[in-house]
């Protein structure tokens, strides 16, 4: 046994890293005795960690732990391992959170196509219900964007990531205070954050919700930032953009709601109460009655139409289902809901079926090391920065991991991993490739996946349905 290990967090063991951003990594955690799964967010602590950084994380935990709602990702528990124990355990703040086994809502959305109005309506209403509750608790989220909207095993929306949230209202008296800190991601931030003046909390979340509704219906964000340096935003303000695609394909009811939430002056912007009263919101949901298999079907409709689903889940019938020892059986039983199955969140791998919450994956009829060198070359040709992770001497078949990063068309930073492993296909050598995003927009990540598959070096080897 070498080096420090991860502690158990209230009975949960950290089994596999499933994501990681700048200062935190996310692991899948399994409680073997109780056959339960969770996510564990680990924020590293070192001797260099400042008190201010600690206080920020403690604030996030205090805020998140107090929020209990069916559309908010649940905060389960936390433990802290101090740097002085680093010989025994990896020091850090361990946050145990509900694992959203349905993956990312926006991972299922075809770029520049979006989802049908019924799906958008269902998820928008869940988002608004969650946000109304959060505001009632006196909390402003301040970082509403597609990557913070997850799905559980039954397909319900979960709002996550309270790292930038702020308490702006006292629950007892209802007294509110303006906020001053500049934060959020440019395509989703409200225009009043461009000045240095203090701003009201609730309207900036409403703006974020408006951008998300547009993105659901259009398959892309409306602009890269709400300032005069964005031509699209200028055409929005002047009104000339409404004759252009994709704005001209949004129905008039939905459009009036989007424009109400994306009103530049925060004093005239719709409130959440106004949003609830809007006819587009108030109509009954057609999908809610149809059950979760119909929902999964409708959600991935655009991915099936454009052929993405045939690439992510071709029918490759595999041999018997052996399983890895790292709790994959528990994982599979925890993830095998009708919703996750209908969404095809399972991949055929060498050792049988495996839960993969990402639909950005494909199979190829080349061995792993050859495929990885073609992927590496193709991504660099797409102006993506790449760095190979070290491979064990004896691992001629991988798995190979490539760290990738860059900026998308909206100037937003993205980072993630491309992982290639061996996969025997009809008796001959092949590979399974999965692209896992850590940071950035799920929509531009899907565009990158598609560009890689269509690149001249990779395309001839991709297995399709």
Q: How confident is the model at residue 19 (pLDDT cuts 50, 70, 90)?
A: confident
Q: Give me the mean pLDDT over the 98-120 stretch.
A: 95
387 is known to lie in a ligand binding site: no
- 103-282 folds as Transferase(Phosphotransferase); domain 1 (1.10.510)
For 280, phi then psi, to 5°, come to -65, -35
* Cis bond before residue 321 (omega within 30° of 0): no
Residue partners of 369: CB distance under 8 A and separation at least 6: 396, 397, 398, 400
Q: What percent of the chain has pLDDT over 70?
A: 95
Residue 332 clears pLDDT 60, i.e. is over it: yes
Question: What pLDDT shows up at residue 68?
Answer: 98
For 88, phi then psi, to 5°, come to -105, -45
- The residue among 118, 122, 123, 121 whose CA lies nearest residue 106 is 123
- Rounded distance between C-alpha atoms, residue 252 and residue 224, angstroms: 24
Query: Which range (23-27, 83-87, 214-218, 443-447) has the least confidence?
Result: 23-27
- The residue among 49, 36, 45 whose CA lies nearest residue 91 is 45
- Rounded distance between C-alpha atoms, residue 94 and residue 85, angstroms: 14
Distance of CA 261 to the CA centre of its chain: 23
* pLDDT tens, residue by residue, 406-432: 999 999 999 999 999 999 888 888 999
Q: Give me the mean pLDDT over the 252-273 stretch.
A: 98
For the chain, what's the residue count?
465
CA dist 266 to 165, 199, 203, 360, 388, Å? 19, 9, 6, 38, 47
Q: Tokens 């991860």 appear where?
A: 6
Residue partners of 446: CB distance under 8 A and separation at least 6: 107, 109, 110, 111, 308, 359, 360
Q: Tokens 């899907």 appear where?
A: 446
Q: Evaluate whether 372 touches 398 at the Cβ level (below 8 Å).
A: yes
Question: What pLDDT shows up at residue 330?
Answer: 65
Helix (H, G, I), strand (E, B) or coil at 255: helix
Q: Give me the mean pLDDT over the 9-27 stretch.
A: 86
Average pLDDT, the chain: 92
Q: Evaluate whether 257 touches 213 at the Cβ level (below 8 Å).
A: yes
Residue partners of 266: CB distance under 8 A and separation at least 6: 190, 192, 199, 200, 203, 204, 207
Q: Evaluate whether 94 touches 78 at the Cβ level (below 8 Å).
A: yes
* pLDDT tens, residue by residue, 391-404: 877 777 779 999 99
Place domain 315-463 in its CATH homologous superfamily: Kinase associated domain 1, KA1 (3.30.310.80)
- DSSP letters of 130-167? HHHHHHHTTEE-----GGGEEE-TTS-EEE---TT-EE
Token reading at 419: 């992982």
Question: What pLDDT shows up at residue 320?
Answer: 41
- DSSP letters of 3-70? S-BPPPBTTBEEEEEEEE-SSEEEEEEEETTTTEEEEEEEEE--TT--HHHHHHHHHHHHHHHT---T
Domain range annotation of the chain: 13-97, 103-282, 315-463
Question: What pLDDT shows up at residue 244?
Answer: 96
Residue 23 clears pLDDT 80, i.e. is over it: no
Residue 288 clears pLDDT 90, i.e. is over it: no
| Dihedral over Cα of 15, 30, 28, 302: its sign | positive
Q: Give me the mean pLDDT over the 312-340 stretch.
A: 67
* pLDDT tens, residue by residue, 37-81: 999 999 999 889 999 999 999 999 999 999 999 999 999 999 999
Q: Tokens 């050792």 appear where?
A: 351
* pLDDT tens, residue by residue, 343-366: 988 888 887 888 888 999 999 999
344 versus 445: which is more confidently predicted? 445
Same fold, 13-97 and 103-282: no
- Rounded distance between C-alpha atoms, residue 263 and residue 245, angstroms: 20
The catalytic residue positions are: 143
- 13-97 folds as Phosphorylase Kinase; domain 1 (3.30.200)
328 versus 370: which is more confidently predicted? 370
């Amino acid at each position: 046994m070498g080096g420090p290990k991860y502690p158990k967090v209230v009975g949960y063991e950290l089994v596999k890293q499933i994501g990681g951003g700048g200062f935190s990594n996310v692991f899948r955690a399994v409680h073997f005795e109780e056959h339960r799964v969770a996510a564990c967010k680990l924020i590293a602590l070192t001797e260099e960690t400042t008190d201010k950084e600690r206080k920020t994380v403690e604030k996030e935990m205090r805020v998140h732990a107090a929020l209990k709602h069916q559309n908010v990702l649940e905060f389960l528990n936390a433990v802290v391992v101090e740097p002085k124990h680093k010989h025994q355990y990896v020091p850090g703040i361990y946050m145990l959170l509900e694992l959203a086994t349905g993956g990312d809502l926006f991972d299922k959305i075809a770029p520049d196509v979006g989802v049908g109005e019924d799906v958008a309506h269902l998820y928008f209403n869940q988002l608004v219900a969650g946000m109304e509750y959060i505001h009632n608790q006196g909390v402003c989220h301040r970082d509403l964007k597609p990557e913070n909207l997850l799905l559980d095993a039954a397909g319900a929306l979960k709002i996550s990531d309270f790292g930038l949230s702020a308490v702006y209202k006292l629950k007892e008296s209802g007294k509110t205070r303006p906020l001053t800190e500049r934060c959020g991601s440019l395509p989703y931030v409200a225009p009043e954050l461009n000045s240095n003046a203090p701003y009201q909390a609730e309207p900036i979340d409403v703006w974020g919700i408006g951008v998300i509704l547009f993105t659901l219906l259009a398959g892309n964000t409306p602009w890269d930032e709400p300032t005069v340096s964005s031509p699209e935003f200028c055409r929005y303000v002047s009104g000339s953009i409404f004759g252009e695609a994709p704005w001209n394909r949004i129905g008039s009811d939905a459009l009036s709601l989007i424009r109400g939430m994306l009103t530049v002056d925060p004093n005239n912007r719709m409130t959440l109460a106004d949003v609830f009263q809007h006819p587009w919101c108030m109509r009954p949901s057609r999908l809610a009655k149809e059950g979760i298999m119909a929902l999964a079907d409708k959600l991935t409709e655009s991915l099936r139409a454009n052929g993405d689903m045939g690439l992510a889940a071709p029918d490759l019938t595999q041999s018997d289902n052996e399983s890895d020892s790292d709790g994959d059986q528990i994982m599979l039983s925890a993830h095998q809901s009708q919703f996750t199955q209908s969404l095809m969140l399972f991949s055929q791998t060498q050792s049988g079926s495996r839960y993969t919450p990402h639909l950005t994956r494909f199979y190829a009829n080349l061995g792993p090391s050859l495929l990885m060198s073609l992927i590496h070359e193709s991504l660099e040709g797409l102006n993506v920065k790449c760095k190979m992770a070290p491979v064990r001497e004896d691992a001629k078949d991988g798995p190979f991991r490539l760290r990738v990063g860059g900026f998308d068309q909206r100037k937003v930073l993205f980072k993630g991993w491309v992982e290639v492993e061996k996969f025997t296909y009809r008796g001959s050598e092949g590979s399974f490739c999965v692209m896992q995003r850590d940071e950035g927009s799920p929509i531009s990540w899907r565009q990158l996946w598609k560009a890689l598959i269509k690149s001249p070096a990779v395309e001839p080897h991709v297995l399709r349905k």
